[in-house]
Amino acid sequence: MRSFPRIFRDDETLSSFALLILVPGVALVFSMPSATFVNEILQSPLSRGTPLAFFVVYVLSFSFFGINRGSAGVPLRQWRAQCLVQAAAHLFLGLLFTMPYLIYIRIILLPLDRIVIVWIGAYSLIVSIFFATIAQWLEARGTRAGRDSGVARYAIAAAIIALPMAFHFAPPGVRLFSLLSPLSGMIRLYAGASAAELSVLFTIPPVGVLIALLLIRRESSRWSHVPLR
């Protein structure tokens, strides 16, 4: 928790938190129905279209927030576990800051079960930790090689989010691969994921984190005796 005070002293960190709060907030505003329909919404199932847009923006915001926080503060010479711990602390704080959005849309806009909102919040957090770990691997690799990894970080994140979505339209047996995309995962959570889908959704990000940590370890070993350029 020692990383929290730095948030209030670093302009870049404050900007990233401000964007995380602002972007889903704007999406929530556009997800709100007209006041004349609020009473009808509270008494009947809400259309599944507009509120889903908020959750899509929410998970995308957390994904790119993870990329941003993961790449911040990676030491030049050697990656340390503290880097991931600090990023995870920032991401958890981001979840706390945006929790009122989830509570609001649960109570006012969307008659979802509480457990669905819990799944969505937890899923957004572990997805952002996965992206933070990917960002730290790319940042450590780019810094040691004397290259900027900014374009690569966001390009890889966009590919991970977009490419598996192609399986969303595949036959049922292959459609499970679409859950590799956080965007598809959020859609399934919103629609009511099955137990099998929940198992896949909450297994993929931790496995991805472990793979990224192995890549970081490999990168650290590779550069351990090589001077920085």
Which residue bears the tokens 């090589």?
226
Furthest-apart CA pair in the chain: how many Å? Answer: 68
The Cα–Cα gap between 129 and 65 comes to: 10
Identify the pLDDT of residue 95: 94
- For residue 229, what pLDDT band results from cuts at 50, 70 and 90? very low
Identify the pLDDT of residue 184: 92
The Cα–Cα gap between 54 and 25 comes to: 9
Q: How many other C-beta atoms are found inside a 10 Å radius of the C-beta of residue 67?
A: 25
pLDDT digit string (tens) for 173-203?
A: 788 889 999 999 998 898 888 888 899 999 9
- For residue 61, what pLDDT band results from cuts at 50, 70 and 90? very high
**Nearest Cα to 88, choosing from 65, 55, 118?**
65
Mean of the per-residue pLDDT values for the chain? 80
Residue type, 35: A
- Helix (H) and strand (E) counts for the chain? 11, 0
How much is the pTM? 0.82
The Cα–Cα gap between 166 and 78 comes to: 38
Cβ distance 33 to 41 under 8 Å?
yes
Q: What is the dihedral of CA 56, 57, 59, 63, to 10 degrees?
A: 130
Identify the pLDDT of residue 34: 54
- For residue 133, what pLDDT band results from cuts at 50, 70 and 90? very high
The residue among 102 and 227 whose pLDDT is bigger is 102
